[in-house]
Amino acid sequence: MTTTDERSAPTEAERLAAGPTVRVRAFAAARAALGWSELDVSARPGSTVGELLTGLLAEAPDAADVIARCSVLVDGIRAEGDAAVSAGAVVDLLPPFAGG
């Protein structure tokens, strides 16, 4: 996994070597809980939002309460746990917020 907070974006060669990826963006409380704002994760064909989140939480189990309250968007469209996540997709984790 590569975070933009830890290093620069991977090169195209690094991306190809790692296989297909999904870009996950965490906002506000999700970013604070996970410790990163953007992360590229490997995506196998047929992956779902639920599987993606399970993988993320395996690395950051303390973030589970925050992530459970987040809305998840896949390529800008709200998605539930059984929604498919294709390679190259952008997944946003948006915690609830006030005043919007």
Q: Supply the pLDDT for residue 57.
A: 96
**Tens digits of residue pLDDT in 37-87:** 999 999 888 899 999 999 999 999 999 999 999 999 999 999 999 999 999
Tell me the C-alpha distance between 65 and 53, whole Å: 12
**Tens digits of residue pLDDT in 9-34:** 555 445 444 568 999 999 999 999 99
**Tens digits of residue pLDDT in 73-97:** 999 999 999 999 999 999 999 999 8
Report CA 80 to chain centroid distance, whole Å: 14
Q: Supply the pLDDT for residue 12.
A: 44
What is the value of pTM for the model shown? Answer: 0.79
Tell me the C-alpha distance between 4 and 40, whole Å: 9
Tell me the C-alpha distance between 81 and 50, whole Å: 4
Q: Which region, left, alpha or beta, applies to residue 28 given φ > 0 means left and ψ of -120 to 50 means alpha? A: left
Residue 6 · residue 39 · CB < 8 Å: no
Q: Supply the pLDDT for residue 43.
A: 86
User: Counting Cβ atoms within 10 Å, is residue 93 exposed (0-12), middle (13-18) or buried (19+)?
Assistant: buried
